[in-house]
């Protein structure tokens, strides 16, 4: 990057704009920093990541993911939509109505990359795309290619569904990033014109509507930050203030309901609800506005919502959003694994919110969640090569869930490319005379603090090793306080601390940070050694899917078991009481990982890899939560020791007597055909609410219609069985493709021959109930349900019990 460009970037961040006015005929000057945040982030341009973990990923994002996303935006018509809207070429609108937003997100990521490292070819590409966007803007400032090309007379007629303000918000974010990175106003001028158009339509004395998908609120704050035009901050506050407030809407625009977080005023919110990504963008906007205005109602609501999410609705990976229906949060403790939605965009939204909360409150609990998301729920969303992406991030798979090069709804791939290059900006934060180390990343940072300059160097192999050395090089002797986060995963274990080579026996801890107050001189050094032990993590007993199970975590990394490392099966793993965990550094596996081996109840050795690295080799089962010998499947749900906790390390002394494995747990399921759903749903032990229950995993034969099909349980040793219960899947209420079967029967295997069981019970097919069939006991290695599907219909099973 040229010195001029870098200077412009830093000057804008410091609140002084040397580039003159910005659009709208008004004087443009960057806004002052938010007064109601306790901390300010150290900009990513002042932090150079030099570690073995994140630096290669940031480089892969620049070299692979960005060009990949640009190419897909071209192939799918996302970029040419702007050329068509500008009448630079003929053609119809292509794709989904909110596709403009994907182009803006890729531009934002490209801008961050340009700020970090000059790239003439990338800069030329960015300029070309921006030229098309500018040409597509209408004379009054309006910009949305869907409405320009397809429904030019229907602007702002469907705020609930059509994402006009959402797309505008991503334009504003991209424009702010591009201006800060390059000093060019080509995209910022477009954004300002569009923002001015929006401000002419919406406001207290104008239209009182909100967008069905939050985003514009936080983006308007970013636009305010680079332009200094307070009307954008006021407009963001207005959109938040009237959300869910029927009185303030004055009946002009109906409320959209909880799925859209538009059911009650935001100051009254106490539960994260609805579409998970929208919820995260809402709270980010609230945090941004509160940082400038000090709106206490917003801050109190944010604190309540944080507790609701982290105590009841967050996966161990930092993933959020339990339900596929509506891409939404579920009820408290509703955290299924195989059917977890955990959209990559939702994890990104949580990381953005956690960072904002860390700056707002200067409390390590928020940085703990930020770290959890970054290393797990977010990072799983992109492949190691950078060219394939997860939209959904389940915590269990039968082997049929894989990353894709792109998606028709491409919000996740394009979101990933803007987050990775901005990651260095999450490492440090500053107060008036305080430096906060929030993430442990080998890096060099140049920081302005207490009227002087400070260079900070981190040396570490984190997250694989727990040793961290922080060397300080102040321009002159500096009297400041340094706060180093004490990671929540250390869970009270002793941390070795040294200051200038001398042990610190009882380091001071405040709000989750190790605190060092003194006058610092060049070469002063803080050394930390965090205990990198392997933990078995248990979840609250009200999380039904995890009863009797544990997950594996080492440092900030959550682990999973893949079939390729474990003889083709992982769902049958049950850890021994003393698993004898052994970490192994594997430099040539999956980009370099620590693999963990463990012993099972039956004496086998099993191996686990970081969750973020799964689905890079042979397709097969994957599981995060595995059975633990001595951990009951029927725990007390009123255990007071869980107060204020959703996850905690397992105390080995808490394990009870071994429970015999049930026939279902020992069974290996198979089927004539596996359609939508997973085989593991047959015996996952999750109870259906009804036959159309989409909130738990299901097995189906879709898209086989009217055929004869089967499902089967196999056992390694002969078992005596005498009864089954079957709960059929039927999505007739949703007018979809599965119905209960026309007929079925039960067979057992004798030698190589299948024989029908002897029973007087009927083979029921009614929905919304278990159908029990008791029969003359048989000794067998395999049991099969044979079904005849109804003509022109498919079918499926939610649960199959065996006695």
Q: What pLDDT score does 676 carry?
A: 84
Q: How confident is the model at residue 254 (pLDDT cuts 50, 70, 90)?
A: confident
Q: How many CA atoms lie within 13 A of 538 on its CB side?
A: 23
Q: How confident is the model at residue 16 (pLDDT cuts 50, 70, 90)?
A: very low
Q: Which residue has the higher pLDDT, 324 or 696?
A: 324
Q: How confident is the model at residue 694 (pLDDT cuts 50, 70, 90)?
A: confident
The proportion of the chain whose per-residue pLDDT surpasses 70, expressed as a percent, equals: 97
List, for residues 177-190, the tens digit of each pLDDT value: 999 999 999 999 99
Q: Are 344 and 393 in contact (CB under 8 A)?
A: yes
Q: How many CA atoms lie within 13 A of 558 on its CB side?
A: 30
For residue 502, is pLDDT > 90? yes
Give me the phi and psi of 46, to 5 degrees please. -100, 5
Q: Which residue has the higher pLDDT, 5 or 611?
A: 611
The mean-pLDDT minimum among 14-18, 220-224, 603-607 falls in: 14-18
Distance CA 36, CA 607 (A): 48
Q: What pLDDT score does 4 carry?
A: 31
Q: Is there a cis peptide before residue 463, judged by omega within 30 degrees of 0?
A: yes
List, for residues 750-777, the tens digit of each pLDDT value: 999 999 999 999 999 999 999 999 999 9
Q: What pLDDT score does 308 carry?
A: 98
Q: How confident is the model at residue 433 (pLDDT cuts 50, 70, 90)?
A: very high
Alpha-carbon distance values, 608 to 193, 547, 575, 678, 790 (Å)? 53, 20, 12, 21, 43
What's the mean per-residue pLDDT of the chain? Answer: 93
Pull the structure tokens for residue 543.
């999380």
Pull the structure tokens for residue 182.
């390059």
In sequence order, what are the beta bridge partners of 749? 754
User: Catalytic annotation on 659?
Assistant: no
Per-residue exposure over 154-190, b if at least 16 CB sit within 10 Å of its own CB, e if not: ebbeebbebbbbbbbbbbbbbbbbbbbbbbbbbbbbb
The total of other beta-carbon atoms located within 10 Å of residue 450's CB is 17
User: Catalytic annotation on 284?
Assistant: no
Specify the residue for token string 């970490």: 583
For residue 678, is pLDDT > 90? no
The active-site residue out of 173, 271, 327, 709 is 327
Q: What pLDDT score does 610 carry?
A: 98
List, for residues 230-249, the tens digit of each pLDDT value: 999 999 999 999 999 999 98
Strand blocks (E) in 530-630: 534-539, 549-554, 557-562, 574-575, 582-586, 593-599, 605-610, 622-623, 626-628
Distance CA 270, CA 268 (A): 6
The active-site residue out of 284, 411, 560, 738 is 411
Alpha-carbon distance values, 137 to 101, 110, 148, 620 (Å)? 15, 21, 9, 48
Q: Write out the H or E segment, with its range, that includes residue 649.
A: strand 647-649
Q: What pLDDT score does 28 carry?
A: 56
For residue 554, is pLDDT > 70? yes
List, for residues 563-612, the tens digit of each pLDDT value: 999 998 898 899 999 999 999 999 999 999 999 999 999 999 999 999 99
> Which residues 6+ apart lie within 8 Å of 541 measured at CB?
547, 635, 636, 637, 639, 642
Q: How many CA atoms lie within 13 A of 502 on its CB side?
A: 4
List, for residues 287-339, the tens digit of each pLDDT value: 999 999 999 999 999 999 999 999 999 999 999 999 998 999 999 999 999 88
Per-residue exposure over 57-66, b if at least 16 CB sit within 10 Å of its own CB, e if not: bbbbbbebbb
Q: What pLDDT score does 696 carry?
A: 79
For residue 644, is pLDDT > 70? yes
């Amino acid at each position: 990057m040229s010195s001029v460009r870098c200077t412009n970037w830093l000057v804008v961040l410091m609140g002084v704009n040397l580039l003159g006015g910005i659009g709208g005929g008004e004087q443009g000057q960057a806004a002052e920093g938010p007064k109601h945040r306790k901390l300010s982030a150290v900009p990513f341009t002042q932090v150079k990541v030099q570690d073995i973990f994140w630096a290669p990923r940031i480089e892969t994002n620049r070299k692979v993911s960005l060009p990949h996303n640009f190419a897909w935006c071209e192939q799918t018509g996302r970029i040419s939509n702007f050329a068509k809207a500008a009448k630079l070429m003929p053609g119809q609108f292509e794709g989904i109505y909110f596709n403009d937003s994907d182009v803006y997100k890729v531009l934002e990521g490209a801008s961050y990359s340009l700020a970090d490292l000059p790239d003439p070819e990338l800069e030329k590409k960015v300029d070309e795309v921006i030229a098309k966007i500018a040409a597509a803007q209408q004379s009054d400032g309006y910009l949305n290619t869907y409405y320009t090309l397809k429904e030019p007379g229907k602007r702002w007629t469907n705020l609930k569904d059509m994402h006009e303000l959402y797309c505008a918000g991503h334009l504003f974010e991209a424009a702010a990033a591009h201006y800060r990175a390059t000093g060019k106003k080509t995209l910022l001028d477009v954004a300002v014109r569009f923002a001015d158009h929006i401000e002419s339509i919406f406001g207290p004395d104008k239209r009182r509507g909100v967008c069905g998908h939050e985003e514009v609120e936080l983006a308007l704050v970013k636009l305010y930050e680079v332009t200094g035009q307070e009307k954008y901050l006021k407009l963001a506050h207005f959109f938040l203030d009237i959300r869910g407030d029927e009185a303030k809407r004055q009946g002009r625009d109906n409320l959209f309901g909880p799925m859209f977080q538009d059911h009650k005023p935001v100051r009254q919110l106490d539960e994260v609800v609805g579409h998970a990504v929208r919820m995260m963008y809402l709270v980010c906007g609230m945090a941004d506005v509160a940082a400038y205005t000090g709106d206490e109602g917003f801050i109190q609501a944010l604190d309540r919502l944080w507790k609701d999410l982290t105590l009841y609705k967050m996966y161990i990976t930092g993933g959020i959003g339990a339900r596929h229906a509506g891409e939404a949060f579920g009820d408290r403790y509703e955290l299924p694994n195989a059917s977890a939605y955990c959209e990559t965009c939702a994890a990104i939204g949580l990381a953005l919110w956690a960072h904002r909360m860390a700056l707002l409150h200067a409390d390590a609990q928020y940085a703990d969640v930020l770290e959890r998301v970054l290393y797990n729920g977010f990072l799983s969303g992109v492949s190691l090569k950078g060219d394939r992406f997860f939209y959904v991030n389940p915590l269990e798979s039968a082997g049929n869930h894989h990353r894709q090069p792109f998606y028709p709804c491409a919000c996740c791939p394009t979101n990933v490319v803007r987050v990775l290059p901005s990651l260095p900006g999450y490492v440090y934060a500053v107060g008036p005379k305080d430096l906060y180390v929030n993430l442990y990343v080998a890096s060099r940072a140049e920081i302005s603090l207490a009227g002087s300059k400070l260079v900070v160097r981190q040396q570490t192999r984190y997250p694989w090793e727990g040793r961290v050395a922080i060397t300080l090089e102040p321009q002159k002797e500096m009297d400041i306080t340094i706060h180093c986060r004490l990671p929540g995963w250390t869970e009270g274990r002793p941390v070795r601390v040294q200051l200038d080579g001398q042990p610190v026996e009882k380091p001071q801890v405040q709000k989750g940070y190790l605190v060092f107050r003194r006058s610092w001189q060049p070469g002063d050094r803080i050394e930390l050694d965090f205990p990198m032990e392997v933990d078995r993590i248990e979840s609250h007993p009200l999380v039904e899917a995890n009863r009797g199970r544990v997950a594996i975590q080492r440092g900030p990394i959550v682990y999973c078991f893949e079939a390729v490392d474990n003889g083709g099966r992982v769902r049958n793993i049950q850890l021994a009481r003393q698993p004898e965990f052994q970490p192994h550094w594997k430099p040539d596996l999956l980009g370099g990982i620590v693999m963990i081996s463990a012993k099972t109840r039956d004496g086998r050795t099993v191996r686990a890899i970081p969750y973020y690295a799964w689905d890079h080799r042979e397709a097969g089962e994957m599981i995060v939560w595995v059975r633990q010998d001595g951990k009951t499947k029927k725990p007390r749900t009123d255990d007071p020791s869980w107060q204020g906790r959703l996850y905690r390390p397992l105390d080995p002394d808490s394990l009870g007597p071994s429970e015999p494995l049930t026939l279902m747990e020992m069974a290996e399921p198979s089927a004539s055909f596996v359609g939508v759903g997973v085989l593991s749903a047959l015996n996952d032990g999750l109870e259906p609410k009804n036959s159309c229950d989409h909130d738990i995993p299901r097995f189906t034969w879709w898209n086989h219609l009217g055929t004869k099909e089967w499902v089967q349980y196999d056992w390694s040793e002969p078992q005596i069985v005498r009864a089954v219960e079957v709960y059929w899947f039927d999505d007739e209420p949703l007018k979809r493709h599965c119905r209960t079967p026309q007929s079925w029967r039960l067979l057992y295997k004798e030698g190589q021959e299948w024989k029908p069981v002897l029973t007087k019970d009927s083979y029921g097919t009614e929905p919304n109930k278990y159908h029990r069939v008791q029969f003359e006991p048989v000794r067998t290695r395999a049991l099969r349900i044979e079904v005849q599907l109804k003509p022109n219909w498919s079918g499926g099973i939610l649960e199959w019990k065996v006695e």
